[in-house]
Amino acid sequence: MGVWQAIMVGCHVVAPDTVVAEVIQKAREPGFDDVEIHIEADIESGRIESPSLAVSQLHIVSDVTTKPFRGELHFGEHECLAYLLHNEGKCLVCSSDKVVFRYLGYVQRRELGISLEEILRCLGDGRPMRAKRYTAAFREDWSKKGFAEALQSNAIGLN
C-alpha cells in the first residue's frame, strides 16, 4: 500500500522476534520483490524494536483464555499480544487478522487495538482503505464479537 515509510517515520514500531522471522521468510517468497520493507536493516538502525519474550511471558495470553482461541492465534500474534499485555499503556497492536481484535474484546482490552486506517489518520493520511480488514470498523466489529463471546461463555459478568 506504500505506507510503510510513513509508519516508520511517524510511529514507534515494535515487532517481536517471531514476527520479524515471519516477515523475513515472506520477503523471500516469490511475488514479494516489490515490497519495500527492509526489517533487518530497520532493526539494526533502531527504527524497529524487536524484543524477545521468555516462554513464561507468553503465558499471559493463554492463561486468560485458551479454549476459544486454541489454534486460531498463530505464534506471531500470540507473541505480539503477550508483549502488548506486559507493556500495557505503552503501545497498541495493529493487525488485519480478526482473531487479534476478537481476543482483545474477549479479555476486555479493546482499547489496546488499532487499525491501519486509524494509524494513517493519526499521521494525517485519510486515504480510504481498499480492504475492510484494515478499517476501524473491522477492528470494532471483531472486538465487540470477542466481548460477546466472553459474556456468552460466562468468562465475564455484568455486575
Q: What is the pLDDT of residues 64-86, one digit of tens each?
A: 656 678 778 888 999 999 999 99
When the pLDDT of each residue in the chain is averaged and rounded to a whole number, the result is: 88
How much is the pLDDT for 93? 96
What pLDDT, on the 0 to 100 scale, is given for residue 148?
94
Specify the residue for cell string 526489517.
Answer: 39
Partners of 49 in the beta sheet?
A: 14
The per-residue pLDDT for 35 is 59
Is a pLDDT exceeding 70 seen at residue 34? Answer: no
17 or 63: which carries more pLDDT confidence?
Answer: 17
Of residues 5 and 145, more confidence is placed in 145
pLDDT at residue 29 in the model: 77
- What is the separation of C-alpha 24 from the centre of its chain, rounded to a whole number of angstroms? 17
Between 123 and 29, residue with greater pLDDT? 123
Task: Let me know: does 102 contact 150? Beta carbons within 8 Å.
Answer: no
Give residue 97's pLDDT.
94
Name the pLDDT band for 145 (thresholds 50, 70, 90): very high
Q: What does 63-119 look like in DSSP terms, one character per residue?
A: HH--GGGTTTS-HHHHHHHHHHHHTBTTB-EE-S-HHHHHHHHHTT-GGGEE-HHHH
The answer on pLDDT for 54 being more than 80 is yes
Q: Are 136 and 118 in contact (CB under 8 A)?
A: yes
The pLDDT > 90 percentage for the chain reads 52
Look at residue 36 in the predicted model and tell me its pLDDT.
Answer: 66
Q: Is the pLDDT of residue 37 over 90?
A: no
